[in-house]
Structure 1
Amino acid sequence: MALSLTFTPPDFDTAELKNGPFAALEAVPADGIAPRNYHATSNYPEYAKLPGYGWVLAPESRMDAVLVADQGKLQVIEARNLKKGDMVVVGRTENGEEGIFVHSHCFERIAASTDKFTFRSRGTRETPFSRSYDELYKILKHDRDHGHIVWVLGPAVAFDKDSREAMQGLIASGFCHALMAGNALATHDIEAAHFGTGLGQNIYSQELQSMGHYNHLDILNEVRRAGSIRESIKVLGIKDGIIKACEDHDVPYILAGSIRDDGPLPETIGNVYESQDRMRQHARKATTVITMATQLHSIAFGNMTPSYRVMPDGEIRPVYFYVVDMSEFSADKLANRGSAQAQAILTNVQDFIVNLWNYMRKKD
């Protein structure tokens, strides 16, 4: 399958780029301190012109990090992870004037209309998303075997019987290579498996259960008593659910902690920088990301995800990023913070995931 977007490289034969200067490099003065006038990265493909090597592409990127040059190669490193003596690219222009080029128009679609003004040029609540679904079906089919699909889930996915089953099916069928979430998603998913409730409501009828507000607290207590989620699945006899599917199919899940957490579960990472580093491992490999009903996790993971991947065969391909939410706020906020490739699908997440799974299993 050909992906719907293809990479167009910069034209380095233009006078501005061919005759432009080499990028200036300055040494890191102390661990975790960038030189003044450092170049802050975007999530677009970025090049630096290095002496003896010419224009070099950073093999990955992310928002708000720095470029470190070493023997003709570039690394994108968070400032807190810099080591004294690292050679950092400095300069704050982006069109070759200082040996730095940010390639922001590398994956643009060719528009059917050449009109400068058109109605409905971006996705809103009035947009029909049928084409987005069709594209997503193809991408997931392709990336199941040729990519790294990352899901970023809010707890709403676990509050409905059908959406839990749909996500479980997608994981079991290979359409999820890593799952990012918080303490709440895992807690309420295990609550649903054991008690049939989410925050005390029946996950099918949505009826409140007597003393149901204790259920997620009791689950947290029992999982902590067992010592781990994996052990609690055995002890509690958990038979289904999103986390159970991840355990059964060796899909890594990262639970990033919050000051709002109850418990938390033993696997929840309380140190935000540790959880960021763990999430970053999958952001670096991601080829498709789907975030659902979680504003903070969507923005966080979007900011650490490149807009492109350099594949083992040298192909440069886009990273597809979908934000599924009832509100335009998440997608707009993410775009405003630099992840402009994020595509919104504005719908109820339970409807989205069930529709997606119903199609994928029919065509699988």
Structure 2
Amino acid sequence: MAFALPPYHPPDFTASRLAQAPVARFVAVERDGVAPAEYHATSVFPEYLQLAPGDWRLLKESRMDCVVRLGAAEDLEVVEFRRLCRGDRVALGRREDGGDGILVHTSGFRAAARRAEKFAFRTLTTRETSFSYDYDELYALLGHERHQGFVLWVLGPALAFDRDARAAFVRLVRAGFVHGVLAGNALPTHDLEAALHGTALGQEIYRKRPVAEGHYKHLDTLNSLRALGSVEAAVARGLVCEGIVHALVQNHIPYVFAGSIRDDGPLPGVIADACAAQDAMRALARRATTVICLATQLHTIATGNLTPSYQVLADGRVRPVYFYSVDMSEFAAQKLINRGSLTTRAILTNAQDFVVTLERGLTTS
């Protein structure tokens, strides 16, 4: 299947509704971290603000649930509320049709309209949905993104619990299909446990047999890594010789491991400060052109909130950001859509099977 980026269709600013639209209003912040009343909150879609009659500016590096700050050079910056300082000028307006000088453009990558039946079966994505075409689309998409995009993976620990899935993901890293990784403490911990002990939470990653003192294995792993100070040191000294983390370090793939209140250890390098972790995750999300989330509901939702549905390229072209959520649970996939990430594509399957199938298709296609 051949892949081509869909064309972007900007709004028609000569249409009477937009030609007569007012200039966007900005009001100064009076208190650090507090937006003025009637602030405009951003979405995942392309948004334009009119700074002068006929001067509509597209927001760059946007994200959901933030505000728009006007810089001294009349540049527009999408920032979190916590970054606001007294005196910052913030865009106002709740009307998104141009009525407040703000336009949320939801049809920039419009597809051909399909004829809808008044009554039809299987209109929602479920475990019974056919996903063969989705895989073929992914093979074509990742073939393009490998050299012309930035593929960001969001990984849950299930990936580290299976021998074949770990090996398949390592091959994806080495083949250039992985440009960044986001995860929690569990994924690297259990991947490193597998590298050191052949287990994940005390169970063999191939035969699934529990081992003696298995409940100590991930704690021993954490303790060993904490003694060395970093996963990079463990790789450099030859303590860790295989696995996902090893492949990331060896191939210089940027990663962010964001901690939570339930973490053991945590592993060295895991960011325990929630705001610092969000900043680090957003730095990679800003670069993403395709995001693939595997069996991690909370990190998937977090990444969905950080990632817009579009990216403005260096040459000014606007392209879509593709976002996939892979999970066995229909609830988990729908939850992200219900949180506002309306462009998410769901593939309902075991994350381990998904990675093995994807890698096999990419290397044989």
TM-score band by shorter chain is over 0.9
Give the Å deviation of 1:237: 2.7
Give the Å deviation of 1:69: 2.1
Q: Please tell me the residue identity of whatever aligns with 2:49.
A: A
Which residue of structure 2 aligns with residue 162 of structure 1? 164
CA distance in 2, matches of 1:54, 1:114: 38
5 Å-filtered alignment, 1:85-234, equals 85-113=87-115, 115=117, 118-234=120-236
Mean Cα deviation higher: 84-93 or 162-171: 84-93
5 Å-filtered alignment, 1:12-51, equals 12-51=13-52
SS for the counterpart of 1:113 is coil
CA distance in 2, matches of 1:331, 1:337: 11
CA distance in 1, matches of 2:13, 2:119: 31
Q: 1:262 to 1:239 in 2, by over 3 A?
A: same
Mean Cα deviation higher: 155-164 or 129-138: 129-138
Deviation per CA, 1:76-134: give whole Å up to 9, x if none.
11111112222111011110111111011222321443546543333221210111111
Give the Å deviation of 1:53: 5.8
Which residue of structure 1 aligns with residue 60 of structure 2? 59
Identity %: 51
Which residue of structure 1 aligns with residue 337 of structure 2? 335
CA distance in 2, matches of 1:31, 1:328: 41
Given candidates 265, 268, 271, the residue that maps to 1:269 is 271
Given candidates 244, 257, 260, the residue that maps to 2:259 is 257
CA distance in 2, matches of 1:352, 1:297: 18
Given candidates 351, 356, 359, the residue that maps to 2:358 is 356
Deviation per CA, 1:115-172: give whole Å up to 9, x if none.
4654333322121011111111111111111111100000000000000001111111
Q: Please tell me the residue identity of whatever aligns with 1:18.
A: A
Q: How many residues align?
A: 363
Give the Å deviation of 1:198: 0.5
Give the Å deviation of 1:236: 5.5
1:288/1:319 contact within 8 Å kept: yes
Give the Å deviation of 1:8: 1.7
Give the Å deviation of 1:73: 2.7
The unaligned stretches of length 5 or more in structure 1 are: none
2:170/2:243 contact within 8 Å kept: yes
SS for the counterpart of 2:315 is coil
1:45/1:60 contact within 8 Å kept: no
SS for the counterpart of 1:356 is helix
Q: Please tell me the residue identity of whatever aligns with 2:360.
A: N
Mean Cα deviation higher: 225-234 or 243-252: 225-234
1:299/1:334 contact within 8 Å kept: yes
CA distance in 2, matches of 1:341, 1:13: 28
Give the Å deviation of 1:27: 0.9
SS for the counterpart of 2:78 is strand
1:61/1:76 contact within 8 Å kept: yes
Q: 1:116 to 1:77 in 2, by over 3 A?
A: farther
1:58/1:73 contact within 8 Å kept: no
1:323/1:344 contact within 8 Å kept: yes
CA distance in 2, matches of 1:205, 1:323: 28
SS for the counterpart of 1:321 is strand
Q: Please tell me the residue identity of whatever aligns with 2:222.
A: L
Taking structure 1 as the reference length, what is the TM-score of the superposition? Answer: 0.96
Q: 1:155 to 1:166 in 2, by over 3 A?
A: same
Which residue of structure 2 aligns with residue 316 of structure 1? 318
The unaligned stretches of length 5 or more in structure 2 are: none
1:172/1:249 contact within 8 Å kept: yes
2:13/2:54 contact within 8 Å kept: no
Give the Å deviation of 1:359: 1.3
CA distance in 2, matches of 1:342, 1:17: 29
2:22/2:53 contact within 8 Å kept: no
Given candidates 279, 282, 285, the residue that maps to 1:280 is 282
Q: 1:360 to 1:241 in 2, by over 3 A?
A: same
SS for the counterpart of 1:48 is strand
Give the Å deviation of 1:234: 3.9
CA distance in 2, matches of 1:148, 1:94: 30
CA distance in 2, matches of 1:91, 1:216: 51
CA distance in 1, matches of 2:307, 2:41: 15
CA distance in 2, matches of 1:253, 1:316: 26
SS for the counterpart of 1:186 is helix
Runs of 4+ in structure 1 off by over 4 angstroms are: 114-118
2:3/2:140 contact within 8 Å kept: no
1:299/1:330 contact within 8 Å kept: no
Q: 1:132 to 1:104 in 2, by over 3 A?
A: same
